[in-house]
Amino acid sequence: MLDASSALAPYAGPWNRRMAAHLLRRAGFGGAPADVDRLAAMSSRDAVDSMMRFDPGPLPARPALEDPPVPPRGLYRGFAQAAVGGAVPMAADDATAEARKAFQMQRNRNRRQNLISMQTWWLQRMIASQAPLQEKMTLFWHGHFTSSPEKGTFAQELLMQNLLFREYALGNVRDLTLHVSQDPAMLRYLDNNVNAKAHPNENYARELMELFTLGIGNYTEQDIRESARAFTGWTFRRNPDGTGSFLDNHNQHDDGSKTFLGQTGNFSGTDIVNIIFKQPAAPRWFAKKLLAFFVYMDPEPQLIDAVAGLIRQHDFEMKPVMATLLHSNVFFSERAYRALVKSPVEFVVGTHQLFGINEIGRLELPVLRQMGQVLFYPPNVKGWDGGSAWINSQSILTRENFANGVAKSPQMMQAASWMVPAMRSMDPRGVAHTLTDAMLQGDVSPASVAQLVTYLGGSGQTELAQLSPENVDERVRNAAYLTMAMPAYQLA
Amino acid sequence: MKRTGFLLGALSGLSVVANTDTIFSRALAQTALPGLPGGSDRILVVINFQGGNDGLNTVVPFGMPDYYRYRPSLGVAPNDVLRIDNTFGLNPVLAPFKKMYDGGNVAIVHGVGYPDPDHSHFRSTEIWQTAQPKGYESTGWVGRYLDDAGLPKANLFNAVAISNVLPEMLISKTTDVPVIDAVASYGLRSDKTKGNSEAFHEFVRDTTVPFRSPFLAQVAEIEDHAQRGAQELPKLIAGYQSQATYPTTPLGRSLALAAQIVGSKLGTRVLYIQHGSFDTHVTQKATQNRLLGDFANSIAAFYQDLAAHGNDKRVLTMTFSEFGRRVAENASRGTDHGEAAPVFMIGGGVKGGLYGRHPDLGQLNAGNLAFSTDFRNVYATVLERWLGRPSASIVGAGYTPLPSLLA
């Protein structure tokens, strides 16, 4: 039973590698064994504090993206006139149609390549950043304030949104929400860029309340209509480098009086955001999301209340809220331990960190797609459900095959220096303990360890040859893979 | 896949099942479901024409003058059309498919769509796959059928996606659907190394770990099933001899595998295949003709293969697309995202012919074809008339099956 009064009080229980690894998995992506050792050697208090300091180290602040291609002169002759009501000119001949097709392919290629660059850059940041919580919070916001390229959004627009999430990783959520409401990728994704006085579009107003801040039941359809009016005219201008700039188009703005959540005035989008954050439902909504992402799914109502109170107390500043949460009893409770399923990104990044492999190769992006998580491409505006949704036969086979690929890769043995002494020892028991301690912090049954020892040593049961200098490399690599195949490795 | 409850007992402390064949022996038996006319061996194949297939150049309304007015360069010439009647015909690249139509094995449903159509690939696909145009539903309509149909839990192949990603349509609360791109590559690569398979088998089944987790048993079970399923599948389908020549295209290969799965009697009820991309914004003819031609050749081979094994009447194939395309061609000899489009129902107990009402080209919905049949009626037809399950809990109440389409 949850004791709500002490749930958020500072944890003073046992501090060891298991707890340190739990902290690293939740506030980051798992880290390397040396990171776990380092945190385990501190006090629990110092360990959590160290996760809250954001000095990421020398990393590229943004990826190099290619500007969107410019169509050859005359290819779309007359289109500008068509945009203001003229007839759309047809392709004069097959050559023009072919040229437009070629340009379209070039534009698609540009978009695809930029997306790959962004995904690769972000994954590498997640792996190598010395401030993993900053990347983890960025990922959290990315799955919360969702946008995707599906509306013809340029990669540069999505990048700006990602930088916004990173800047506000532990910042003020109300301010972040206001900036998100003016973000070009979001304006386009939820159609607010075409929300105008003459023809209002409610898509952003609805999702802002339903999914981003309050949840169903805490506003009415009328509130959606009125707030949509307040957001009219909020659009963006596209820049030649593919980024967008927020534009408050007064000509398109409905400056009449609106009644929203019980208040009346000539509201703009800024007022709407401020009124939303005064509602009791707002801190509860964020509390529920944070708990499900960082602690355990289906948090108790009393726990949600306690965290909501904390959020309200700190006026939506995430830094003190997360500090309290990460220091807390409930965060380090038995119920929270291994209570989450690693998302595909956590699985891939964490496995890289485990073996010290910093580079993203050609496999990671397709594999993440098969596991069900493409960065910058949430499946819909709800983001990723998490939990059971990550686990099906395809995603599991993909995870196992990816782990197998890493275990067989040249980089793995070079980078995972912690494996070398064990391998040199040629001692099956020693290797088995090294693997299960480093990779699972001992969260294995004695029976499984015994199985691993038998496997490593070679025996009549498996018809494997005895462990020898000739086969030790392959045998240990396979043992590392088998350790990752244990169900515990899928759990964060 | 969401799991709300499943058997923990299966893994805690039970002895290892000595003979893995017994897991699948239930798969091999054909168990009759209650209330299902004609027995339990009816199969549904769904082919997703991904990207938005232009229905007007597929089922050509050559008898409607507006069609040529809107499509000066894209219109299929009246003399080229494979005529069905005085108004409609098929695109000439569909010749093998026209033969199937002439044999009475193809039903064409005109104008299928839904109210307030969405023109985004992602959202409209999601709508067709979840059968939920309002709000976000995590399970797919076929997933809900799988949950509802009471299929044998021990069968790991109740449904199969021949693809590389699990489609939303097959996401279910209780049924795990394997995604098999090709049999050769399906499974654990590590199993090819001696000793790994047995070791994996043991580790995965040991859940006596020093911690508790709400997800532990589920992960272990899925890992176990996935490995064993992948190991058994090649053996189960090895005996099948294809009796048709399929195109050497991804669609051809997928349908060849589908025929193999059907013919090997794994108890599979639903198969999903994807074909595309039909998103022909620019120079439509070349791309669409290639894709439709591939479809015609592949589906003809599929039914030829099925017939040679006596399975053609057991298999109903349904094609769909997330939307049709705009009526007027655009400035680039292509078409943009549209709305209503035709659905094909092939084989099985289909009574061939034209169904529904073709949208009026003189009464467009802001340049798009207005739908006349809600796709949920098409799903209800499949659910009730073919798979023998009530449709209300799956697609919602009030969607009546199309009369007389399925015998």
Model confidence pLDDT, tens digit, residues B167-218: 999 999 888 899 998 888 899 988 888 888 888 888 888 878 999 999 999 9
Residue B36 reports pLDDT greater than 70: no
Considering the domain B21-395, what is its CATH architecture? 3-Layer(aba) Sandwich (3.40)
With a cut of 80, say whether residue B11 has pLDDT above it: no
Residue numbers in B near A491 (CB within 8 A): 213, 215-216, 219
Chain B residue whose CA is closest to A488: B216
* Interface residue B1 vs chain A (CB under 8 A): yes
Provide the pLDDT for residue B107: 98
Nearest-CB residue to B213 (from A76, A393, A491)? A491
**Closest chain B residue to A148 measured between Cα atoms?**
B122
What confidence score (pLDDT) does residue B154 get?
79
| Range of A67-81, A344-358, B161-175, B224-238 with top mean pLDDT | A344-358
Contacts of B69 in chain A (CB under 8 A): none
**pLDDT computed for residue B82 by the predictor:** 98
* Window B:8-67, CB contacts with A under 8 Å: none
- pLDDT 10s digits, A57-88: 999 999 999 999 988 888 887 776 666 666 67
Give B59 or A87, the one with higher predicted confidence.
B59
Q: Is the pLDDT of residue B295 over 90?
A: yes
The residue type found at A402 is: F
- Encode pLDDT of B238-252 as tens digits: 999 999 999 999 999
Asked if A389 and B122 come within 8 Å (Cβ–Cβ), the reply is no
Query: pLDDT at residue B17 above 90?
Result: no
Contacts of B226 in chain A (CB under 8 A): 393, 396-397
pLDDT reading at B4 higher than 70: no
Residue A258's DSSP bridge partners are A265
Average pLDDT over residues A182-187: 97
- Tell me the shortest Cα–Cα distance from B305 to chain A, in angstroms: 28
Q: What is the mean pLDDT of chain A?
A: 93
Instruction: Determine the Cα–Cα distance for residues A192 and A200; give it in Å rounded to an integer.
Output: 9
Counting residues of chain B whose pLDDT is more than 90, the rounded percentage is 71
- What is the torsion angle, in degrees rounded to the nearest 10, for the CA atoms of residue B121, residue B126, residue B132 and residue B133? -10
Lowest mean pLDDT among A1-5, A289-293, B36-40, B243-247: B36-40
Across the interface, do A397 and B121 touch by the CB < 8 Å criterion? no
Contact (CB<8Å) A485/B177: no
Q: Percent of chain B beyond pLDDT 70? A: 90
Q: Kindly report, residue by residue over A379-435, the tens digit of the pLDDT.
A: 889 999 999 999 998 899 999 999 999 999 988 877 788 988 888 889 999 999 999
**Rounded distance between C-alpha atoms, residue B337 and residue A396, angstroms:** 35
Give the confidence band of B98 by pLDDT, cuts at 50, 70, 90: very high
Over residues A461-490, the mean pLDDT reads: 89
Q: Mean pLDDT throughout B334-343?
A: 96
Residue pLDDT, tens place only, B124-163: 999 999 999 998 899 999 999 999 998 887 788 999 999 9
- pTM, rounded to two decimals: 0.89
pLDDT value for B352: 97
Query: Of the ranges A370-374, A468-472, B25-29, B58-62, which one carries the lowest mean pLDDT score?
Result: B25-29
Q: Given pLDDT bands bounded at 50, 70 and 90, which one contains residue A98? A: confident
Minimal C-alpha gap between B352 and chain A (Å): 37
**What is the token pair recorded at A374?**
């493409």
Q: Quick check: A320 pLDDT over 80?
A: yes
Name the minimum distance, in Å, from the CA of A253 to any CA of chain B.
Answer: 25
> A389, B226: Cβ pair inside 8 Å?
no
One-letter-per-residue 3-state SS of chain A: CCCHHHHCCECCCCCCHHHHHHHHHHHCCCCCHHHHHHHHHCCHHHHHHHHHCCCCCCCCCCCCCCCCCCCCCCCCCCHHHHHCCCCCCCCCCHHHHHHHHHHHHHHHHHHHHHHHHHHHHHHHHHHHCCCHHHHHHHHHHHHHCCCCHHHCCCHHHHHHHHHHHHHCCCCEHHHHHHHHHCCHHHHHHCCHHHCCCCCCCCHHHHHHHHHHHCCCCCCCHHHHHHHHHHCCCEEEEECCCCCEEEEECHHHCCCCCEEECCEEECCCHHHHHHHHHHCCHHHHHHHHHHHHHHCCCCCCHHHHHHHHHHHHHCCCEHHHHHHHHHHECCCCCCCCCCCCECCHHHHHHHHHHHCCCCCCCCCHHHHHHHHCCCCCCCCCCCCCCCHHHHCCHHHHHHHHHHHHHHHHCHHHHHHCHHHHHHHHHCCHHHHHHHHHHHHHCCCCCHHHHHHHHHHHHCCCCCCCCCCCCCCHHHHHHHHHHHHHHCHHHHEC
Specify the pLDDT at position A86.
64
The residue-averaged pLDDT of B295-299 equals 98
Q: What is the pLDDT of residue A83?
A: 63
* B35: pLDDT strictly greater than 60: no
pLDDT at B211: 94
Nearest to B195 among A90, A334, A462 (CB): A462
Contacts of B214 in chain A (CB under 8 A): 296-297, 339
| Mean of all residue pLDDT scores within chain B | 88
Number of Cβ within a 10 Å radius of residue A118: 21
pLDDT at B184: 86
Q: Is B134 on the interface with A (CB under 8 A)?
A: no
At residue B38, the pLDDT reads 31
Q: What is the pLDDT of residues A118-146, one digit of tens each?
A: 999 999 999 999 999 999 999 999 999 99
The pLDDT value given to residue A84: 64
Residue B39 has pLDDT above 50, yes or no: no
* Nearest residue of A to residue B166, measured between CA atoms: A394
Q: Between residues 202 and 231 of chain B, which touch chain A (CB distance below 8 Å)?
A: 202-204, 206-216, 218-220, 222-223, 225-226, 229-230
pLDDT band for B5, please (50, 70, 90 cuts): very low
Query: CA A309, CA A306: separation in Å to the nearest integer?
Result: 5
Banded pLDDT at B112 (limits 50, 70, 90): very high
Q: How many CB pairs under 8 A join A and B?
A: 190
